[in-house]
Amino acid sequence: MAMSTLSGAEPRTGHSWLHPDTWHLRTKLVAVTTLLLVGICTVVGTVLYASMERVLTQQLDSQLAQASYRAAEFSSPSTTGTPRRNPIEAPGQGAGTLNARISNGVLVTSSLITSDGRVASPTASDAAQLASVPISPARSGPGRPGADELTPVDRKLSAGTYRLVAVQTEYGDVVVTGLPMAATEATLGSLVLTTVIVSLGGLMLVGLLGTIIIRRTMKPLDQLSHVAGQVAQLPLDAGEVALAVRVPASAANPGTEVGQVGNALNRMLDNVSGALEARQASEMKVRQFVADASHELRTPLTAIRGYTDMLRLTEPLTEQGAESLGRVETQSLRMSRLVEDLLTLARLDEGQPLKRGPVDLTQLVVETVTDQKVIAPDHTWRLELPDEPLEITADGAKLHQVLVNLLSNARKHTPPGTTVTASAGRSARGDAVLTVTDDGPGIPPDLQRTVFSRFTRADKARAAGGEGSTGLGLSIVEAIVKAHGGSIDLTSRPGRTEFAVYLPATPVSQPVPTPAPAA
């Protein structure tokens, strides 16, 4: 898996209902709007209930004042000496009316008119309630007392809740009159039920319509987020990048706040796209130059090596001359390897097609490790291979180069006596896996981040073999593995360094070559 990309942790996308700070903006708007409407409905309902209760109570008190006057007048003795009568028999008393007469603190008579017109007597507990009703102040002038001159109270009786008033006649008796509050309570109950139902229906309707409206209003922000998410997933670090995604015109109108953000994002993407195109053009020029220079350098290098061989065979050389000629030959070989590595990278960068065919990885590992044993007998070489052949469809020559580079890397950068283990197998997903492991000093953490970059060289502690390195070996390994659709992973610590190459069981489509710019 080629050295894992070092990136920050992905942001959390989930949210908890217990933490409003994590809610989506549309959720917050709907919640705030709903809470405001609930508050408004509560205030309106409370005011309406209080107003209606006041109006109904005033109406009931007015009716109670009239019924009390009739009962008091009817129960008083006439000038001809007629005895006091039962106030319930006063004319104009409606169903549910309660009347009682108290003389010297003793309840003399009490009765109420039922809904079917009959007269019933209250219970003993009701008598105590009636006797406790405060007496309204006597009226100073003639005429009927008004509702505001009485002191009505509410009492819970056996027949229900009653509004009661007590007045004292001119003969000293107290007449208690009451009217049932059932109608008032029923009206207020209906008002509460109606208010709750209408409020809930209104809240549901407003919540539904508000959600739809807020979603439509927030759609441009969703489009901005979608575009930003697409751009964030693009590999902008290398290669040709098609940055064609843009915010739609409907979400980039400079006349709105969201449109200003969308317009600014589009302008930023245009700027980034131009910079990427310039970077790609510059990168292609560099690649073309490296490819051309490498081709041109092969001829003089071949000539230098040929002339050094001819001088060694045909000319007598002093000891110092032979040493100097040997150095020329060594440097020419080193430069030839560098040129070949650059040509290999140039071909891979151009997307040169792979020569795919059946490859037995077990045989490939055995042959490559055998060659390394001859080159470095001072290392311990081990094989860990399956019992059965491990075949895949790939470019055998390129995979051989991958193994050679990885084994050479382990050989060059570890001291003599180091154990190097090459293995082949399959992963849980069915991919072929090649690993090269050594028990050397390990790769420093800061070097691990750039180990697959071009011209990255190991420090002296790991380069124990003292061999020169071009710094391109692992770059070539990564490029070849990616061309096969695979990945390479590195794990290293003191005493264990492992390179693991993952190759897909099914060949991936060959990447389309990027055309080089015209000279």
Helix, strand, coil percent content, the chain, rounded in steps of 5: 50, 15, 35
- What stretches in the chain show pLDDT beneath 70? 1-17, 76-90, 92, 138-148, 237-241, 350-351, 457-470, 507-519
Q: Element (H or E) spanning 368, and its range?
A: helix 361-375
Compute how many other C-beta atoms are within 10 angstroms of the C-beta atom of residue 37: 16
Residue 330: per-residue pLDDT: 83
Residue 9: per-residue pLDDT: 38
Find residue 384's DSSP bridge partners: 423
Write the burial class of residue 179 (CB in 10 Å: 0-12 exposed, 13-18 middle, 19+ buried). buried
Residues contacting 383, CB < 8 A, separation 6+:
365, 366, 369, 421, 422, 423
Looking up tokens 């264990």, which residue turns up? 496
Nearest to 231 by CA among 274, 269, 259, 262: 269
Residue 337: per-residue pLDDT: 77
Residue 194: per-residue pLDDT: 93
Distance from C-alpha of 177 to C-alpha of 173, rounded to nearest angstrom? 13
DSSP letter string, 267-308? HHHHHHHHHHHHHHHHHHHHHHHHHHHHHHHHHHHHHHHHHH
Residue 436: per-residue pLDDT: 94
Residue 146: per-residue pLDDT: 58
Distance from C-alpha of 265 to C-alpha of 107, rounded to nearest angstrom? 90
